Amino acid sequence: MNRIIPKSRFIEIYFPYLLLGLVTFSFFFFLIDYVFFFQEKGGLFLTSLEYFFGHFNRPGGMLMYLSEFLTAFYFYPAAGAFILAAVIVLSAFLVQQIQKCYSEEHSLILPFVIAGILFYLQSDYHTLLFNGLGMILQLIGFYFAVKTDRILKGWIPVFVFPFWYFLTGSLALMFALQYSLHLILKKEKRAVIQIVVLWLLFMVFLYLSKEYFFYFSLRELLAYPFKASLPDWHLRIYFALAAVLILLPAISLLKLNFLHKKPFSGPFVDLGIPVLIITASLLLVGKQISPKDKHYFRVEKLFYLEKFDEVIEFNRKNPSANILTSFLNNISLSEKGQLADRLFEFPQSSDAKTLFLPWEMSSEILRRGGYFYYSIGMINEAHRWAYENMVMNGFTPEGLKMLIKTELINGNTRMAGKYIDFLNGTFFYRKVAEEFRKLALNEASIDQNAELGAKRKMKSGNDFFILASEPMLNLAAALNGNPGNQKALDYEMAFFLLKKDFNGIISNLHLYNNKSGEYLPVNIEEAVVAYKTLGIGHAEVVDHLNIRQETIDRFTSYLQTFKQFGNNKASAQQALFKGFGNTFWYYIFYK
């Protein structure tokens, strides 16, 4: 006969979990969806059997495969929020169920504290899914081990553990320690023997793995898939959480008699405690949300979608001093032909790091630095950055797209086809792959493509050595090979503007077509007007240029405003910023 749970008791038991899931989903989906964007773009899940079997090259590969499979669905933030909410709710539910295996206590304090800590950890975009998922798998394994303890007198987990370690890697040690503690608490004669056999089987498995099965060191076999990629403070919390879960069997046996006294018991308390813990978790996680990160990932998402106008407008409304944000914004300005017109509408660094990133074997730099070279038509160099990133970090969606584009532009359609096959072997990039395949099958269509055709025309006609640590010198070489490369010219002039190098600006003016009524870019024009009006150099070298009267009048107004404050830079700054903060004139005075 099935026991029917009263409606009030049903709500008391399950409502806290429903609330936890709803709050977690809403928080991730509405407030920190950039977590899903970062992690989905950081890897590429392939549906091929080769990719699947490739994960069996070491213990823990199956956990990583499952984690990467679920992370692929982060492509849709709603799916990502659901997955993380499920992981966090399941952690609380499993802890409570394990507690019930040891005592009649039904307190939700520990389950919801653990869920809150996991919520805090997973809200950091550096914390990959396998961290939380691995813990959940150990709790599931331990729960079934305890529930089936009487089958074969508890020997099943002992003999199965090496296989479990092969599936889940280093995180399986949490299960081994949990089960060892469980056996100790049973106080049975065979418990010691079972513990000794469990750890002996584990050591034999490690020895055979190191010597015969896998080509990894003992240290790597013991550590994988865990990586110390979390911030130090989060790393300590993660290990503390693992320690609590390992001690769960002992904690569950504690008799907390005060919980049965009237002030600490009853349905309102049972519901109120989870609500308080959830509220505290929200406040704690809310404090760690970084507006800078949120802003940057919004820009990067628009950038990858090639919505350059939206990137520029978003940064105009929400200025950011983040170098990577400015770097992507400047590329967006370049792609829209506005770099030398609107350079000073946005924060810039005088060392020019907002224009281009120096070569570094760092995933953050490698993943993004090549877009500068792609923008100015240095296709081989853009390809090199994308290829090195692939070697260092594996396939990523955007890195694979860049490899395909550069191969197509260079006419290497066969190699592009191989990369297209990889992209086609994904869940959510097959449509993009098919568009690339159409171009690969008809090379003439590449010239007709608005993006790739334009990049082909920009390519330099000369071969030259790339100076990875000196991007500026590469611009000069690119212009020598193709003087008509407008984007490379705008970048070079932007560099001279940031360096306040009037000689560099003036000596390259001849590369602009300033005839037949055409004008120079606005910021270049501002430099020319200042050069001529202030008598910085030989004015006759710029006398022939077409200059907008509006620019001349604005500079006159700028000087008049400055004189109103007695030519005092400090006193005039606020007024000059208000009227001329987006000009080269203000930059040269105050930056």
Query: What is the model's pLDDT at position 105?
Result: 65
Q: Which residue has the tokens 């509405």?
A: 30
pLDDT tens for each residue of 490-514: 999 999 999 999 999 999 998 887 6
Q: Is 80 exceeded by the pLDDT of residue 44?
A: yes
**How many Å apart are CA 520 and CA 531, to the nearest integer?**
14
> What is the per-residue pLDDT for 140?
97
Instruction: Round to whole Å and give the CA distance between 315 and 311.
Output: 6
**What would the two tokens of residue 435 be?**
């568009």
Assess whether pLDDT exceeds 80 at residue 524: yes
Alpha helices in 394-485 (DSSP H): 397-409, 413-424, 430-441, 444-448, 450-458, 471-481
Q: What is the dihedral of CA 558, 560, 561, 566, to 10 degrees?
A: 130
pLDDT for 1: 42
Residue 541 has pLDDT above 90, yes or no: no
Please check the confidence at residue 264 and state whether its pLDDT lies above 60: no
Torsion of CA 571, 576, 577, 579, to 10 degrees: 150
Is the pLDDT assigned to residue 463 strictly greater than 60? no
Residue 8 has pLDDT above 60, yes or no: no
CA angle 86, 90, 93 (to 5 degrees): 145
Q: Is the pLDDT of residue 364 over 80?
A: no
CA dihedral angle for residue 75, residue 335, residue 329, residue 379, rounded to 10 degrees: 70
Give the pLDDT confidence score for residue 461 in this predicted structure. 64
State the pLDDT confidence band at 426, using cuts at 50, 70 and 90.
very high
Q: Which two tokens stand for residue 117?
A: 């800590």
Report the predicted TM-score, pTM, of the whole model to 2 decimal places: 0.91
pLDDT bin (cut points 50, 70, 90) of residue 258 is very low
In eight-state DSSP terms, residue 425 is T
Distance in angstroms (rounded) separating the CA atoms of residues 553 and 579: 13
Mean pLDDT of 175-179: 97
Task: Count other Cβ atoms within 10 Å, centred on residue 342.
Answer: 18
Question: What's residue 266's pLDDT?
Answer: 55
How high is the pLDDT of residue 510? 86
- Give the C-alpha separation, 372 to 131, whole Å: 34
Chain length of the chain: 591
Q: How far apart are CA 481 and CA 473, in angstroms?
A: 13
Q: What is d(CA 518, CA 143) in angstroms, rounded to the nearest whole number? A: 76
pLDDT higher than 90, residue 274: no
pLDDT score of 270: 66
Lowest mean pLDDT among 52-61, 275-284, 397-406: 275-284
Confidence band, pLDDT 50/70/90 cuts, at residue 303 = very high
- pLDDT exceeds 90 at position 170: yes
Confidence of residue 462 (pLDDT cuts 50, 70, 90): low
> Looking at 77-81, 163-167, 376-380, 514-518, which range is the least confident one?
514-518
**Residue 7 backbone phi and psi in degrees, to 5:** -60, -45
pLDDT at 187: 82
Task: Say which residue, 6 or 587, is predicted with more confidence.
Answer: 587
Give me the mean pLDDT over the 284-301 stretch: 92
CA 332 to chain centre: 20
Give the mean pLDDT of 19-35.
95
Residues 512 and 492: their CA atoms lie apart, in Å, by 12
Q: What is the CA radius of gyration of the chain?
A: 31
Looking at 103-155, list the stretches that DSSP marks H as alpha helix, in order from N- to C-terminal side. Answer: 109-122, 129-147
322: number of CA atoms within 13 Å, CB side? 19
- The per-residue pLDDT for range 197-224, each reduced to its tens digit, is 999 999 999 999 999 899 889 989 998 9
Q: What is the mean pLDDT of the chain?
A: 89
Query: Would you give the end-to-end CA distance of the chain in angstroms?
Result: 81
**Cα gap 250→365, rounded to integer Å:** 47
pLDDT band at 324 (very low <50, low <70, confident <90, very high): very high
Distances (CA, A) of 12 to 2, 85, 113, 115, 187: 19, 20, 18, 18, 35
In the numeric block, which tokens belong to residue 239? 């290990």
pLDDT of 108: 84
Residue 533 vs residue 437, higher pLDDT = 437
What pLDDT, on a 0 to 100 scale, did the predictor assign at position 149? 85
